[in-house]
Amino acid sequence: MQTSYASTFPVGYPGMPADLSPKYDRSYFNTALDVAGVVTVTVATFTAATEYSLTINGVTVSTTTPATGGSIALLRDALVAAINQSFAGVDAVAGAGNTITVTGVSGQPLTATPANATLSQAVTTPVVASGEIGLGLAVVRIPTDNDREVRLGAPDALHRFVGVTVDDGLRTNIAPYGNGRSDHVYRKGDTVLVREAGTLWVAIEGPPVTPDSPVFYRYSGAGKIGAFRGATAPGADLRLANARFLTGGTTMAQILLGYATVSAETTP
């Protein structure tokens, strides 16, 4: 006679609800649009009979100024024409003064490296790419998103923390979690169930967390975007002021999430 039963389910998995208190879930769309990067190139000075070059997305473009009759404006316009005739996959236009505005492809990396000291570049708009969103991860909204959109990660601290992705019962999260099944995500275009307040299991990165750890989440930088941490780090330096860990853990932990506000962390 069978007297015991074995279960393959873990204590929890990221995105698994843990309804120990009142909760509030809301549906959003994983349809946040990709944002194209914009770089501004400035021409500081002009020297006759000199080659000026710029490498954009690995493609080098150049132009040589004439021995006579040249100007900064003519150099700027020549660089704009060279960029637009290249295969760098970007668009360039002459900007105010002696500047060039370079716009990349939405969601695709954009780099611009001047070869001359008289050329400089500055990122005007960071690139933002949207895609699949896993479970138990922090999702945010940046200024260009509408009120029904969420995304995984942001280029900087200028974003709003929305909540944590939760299992909607359609993700087929059979145990053990993380067994390589591709349907443990909300794909682009899916309706995303987000827990804004309540308890659930979340993904953890970095040092193990404890119930006494402060609650941070990664929105950019090196690491697992959207994962939670118990210590500040570059790209994970915003603390959730109304949240706390209910358990410890190294790869996942249970969290109690209030209607969280974020703050720049100075002392964990």
Q: How far apart are CA 122 and CA 36, in angstroms?
A: 15
Q: How far apart are CA 167 and CA 195, in angstroms?
A: 9
Domain ranges of the chain: 24-34+129-264, 38-125
Q: What is the pLDDT of residues 101-132, one digit of tens each?
A: 999 998 888 999 999 999 999 988 878 777 78
Is 179 a residue whose pLDDT tops 70?
A: no
Is 182 a residue whose pLDDT tops 70?
A: no
Q: What is the pLDDT of residues 184-227, one digit of tens each?
A: 788 878 899 999 999 999 999 989 999 989 999 999 888 888 99
Instruction: State what percent of residues in the chain have pLDDT above 90.
Output: 51
Q: How far apart are CA 72 and CA 95, in angstroms?
A: 13
70-76 long-range contacts (CB < 8 A, ≥24 apart) are: 70/46, 71/46, 72/43, 72/45, 72/46, 72/98, 73/98, 75/43, 75/46, 76/43, 76/100
Place of tokens 């969103």: 133
Cis check for the bond before 66: say yes or no (omega within 30 of 0): no
Q: Taking all residues of the chain, what is their mean pLDDT, rounded to a whole number?
A: 84
Q: What is the pLDDT of residues 128-147, one digit of tens each?
A: 777 788 899 999 998 888 88
